Amino acid sequence: MASEKSKILVIGGTGHIGKLIIEASVKAGHSTLALVREASLSDPNKGKTVQNFKDFGVTLLHGDLNDHESLVKAIKQADVVISTVGSMQILDQTKIISAIKEAGNVKRFLPSEFGMDVDKSSAVEPAKSAFGRKLQTRRDIEAEGIPYTYLVTNYFAGYYLPTLVQLEPGLTSPPRDKVKIFGDGNVKAVINKEEDIAAYTIKAVDDPRTLNKTLYINPPNNTLSMNEIVTLVSGSLQRSSVDKPRGVCERRSDQFHYRAFIRF
């Protein structure tokens, strides 16, 4: 007999990746809960998202990171907690950690990561500070003895590919004649579709192999260089080489070593 699926609470679910994780959780047959702030209900865009959650059959729990009692109450109703809070709220996850510790029932916590492995990366500012916040969250989780899974998802296809990785403010489509290539354009990075990231996230929650581990989402066919990306989309574009963009970081692992760029 198959084991019962965990009840999943998503905190920060009205954001881009949070919405997809909630949808993936529901599709996978998990009882899904979403912590929703009162302010989200009055926001036109987020209010529509919350209504969609209701239509999916998601249980809405009213609460806030700054309301410890509401956090504990929500967490007590779940087996697994997934945080998808934004980059400016990473350190606020200490409040989630504290509430999980008090609730005492959580089988696993997946903090908001959705990027590179910060334990195996080095960077200059502003990426250095962002990595530092995620590192601190990891150490806080481990210090409290909370079961965890860290997700290393690398880069969002929906963010980088539409512009061919041109980090220009306001740009939403690829350039028509000339494209900027960082360095020689041959260094590779992993780019994943957000819907796939959400699906793998949900698959991880009940998998004993991912407990207290770092899960890398690195499909071989998703590992591409800038030159390969440009060639796949339009090989006729003129290419110009530029220096590294701000926030350059470097990641090493046993399998590969690459340089990549981050925009915050």
Q: ∠234-194-208 over CA atoms, to 5°? A: 135
User: Between 20 and 128, where is the model more confident?
Assistant: 20
Distance CA 207, CA 134 (A): 23
Question: Which stretch of DSSP H or E encloses residue 132?
Answer: helix 127-143
Tell which wins on pLDDT, 84 or 177. Answer: 84
User: What pLDDT does 255 receive?
Assistant: 33
**Considering the entire predicted model, what is its pTM?**
0.87
pLDDT number for residue 238: 83
Measured distance CA(128)–CA(118) in Å, rounded: 9
**In 3D, which of 206, 189, 186, 187 has the Cα closest to residue 82?**
206
Least confident of 78-82, 148-152, 166-170: 166-170
What's the pLDDT score for residue 142? 98
In this predicted structure, what is the pLDDT of residue 260? Answer: 36
Residues classed as catalytic? 134
Asked whether the predicted pLDDT for residue 98 surpasses 70, the reply is yes
Has residue 254 got a pLDDT over 60? no
Domains and their CATH numbers in the chain: 8-156+192-218 (3.40.50.720), 157-189+221-260 (3.90.25.10)
pLDDT value of residue 243: 67
Per-residue confidence (pLDDT) for residue 215, from 0 to 100: 96
Q: Is the pLDDT of residue 262 over 70?
A: no
Average pLDDT over residues 213-224: 93
The two structure tokens encoding residue 135? 């590192």
Read off the pLDDT of residues 16-51 as tens digits, 9 standing for 90 and up.
999 999 999 999 999 999 999 988 888 888 889 999
- What distance in Å separates the CA atoms of residue 157 and residue 155, rounded to the nearest whole number? 6
Residue pLDDT, tens place only, 100-122: 999 999 999 999 999 989 999 87
